[in-house]
Structure 1
Amino acid sequence: MERLPLRVVLAGGSGGGRELGLGGPLMRVHDPRAFFRRIGSDGLIGFGESYMAGEWDADDLTGVLTVFAEHVAVLVPPSLQRLRALWARRRPEAQRNTREGARDNIRRHYDLSNDLFALFLDETMTYSSAVFRGFPADEDLLPAAQHRKIDLLLDAAGVGPGTRLLEIGTGWGELAVRAAERGARVVSVTLSREQRALAVERVRAAGLQDRVQVLLRDYRDVEGVYDAVISVEMIEAVGHEFWPAYFRTLQARLAPGGRIALQAITMPHDRMLVSLPTFTWIHKYVFPGGMIPSVEAIAEICAHGTGNGTGLRIVSAEAFGPHYAETLRLWRERFTRRAAEVGALGFDEVFRRLWTFYLAYSEAGFRSGYLDVRQFVLESGTAATGSGG
Structure 2
Amino acid sequence: MQTLGVAAVSARAMAQAAAHDGFDVVALDLFGDVDTRRAASRWLPIGAPGSLHIDAAQVLAALRELAREREGGVPLVGWVAGSGFEGEPDLLAQGAAVLPLIGTAAAAVRRLRDPALFFGFLAGERIPHPPVSFEPPEDAEGWLMKDAHGCGGWHVRRPPWPKDERLPAHHYYQREMAGLPMSATFIANGRDVHVLGFNELSVRRFGTRPFVFCGAVGPVPIAADMARRVTAIAQALSAEFELRGLCSLDFMRDGDAIGALEVNPRPPASMSLYRRPFGSGLMQAHVRACLEGALPPATPAQAQDVEGMEIVFARRPLQLDAAAARRLAAWPGIHDLPDAGQRFDIDDPVCTLSAGGSDAGQVRMRLNEGRERLLQSLETLA
Tell me whether the two structures share a fold, i.e. TM-score over 0.5: no
Higher CA-based Rg: 1
> Normalization by structure 1: what TM-score?
0.31
- TM-score (structure 2 length as normaliser): 0.32
User: RCO (CA 8 Å, sep 6+): is it higher in 1 or 2?
Assistant: 1
Q: Which has the higher helix share?
A: 1
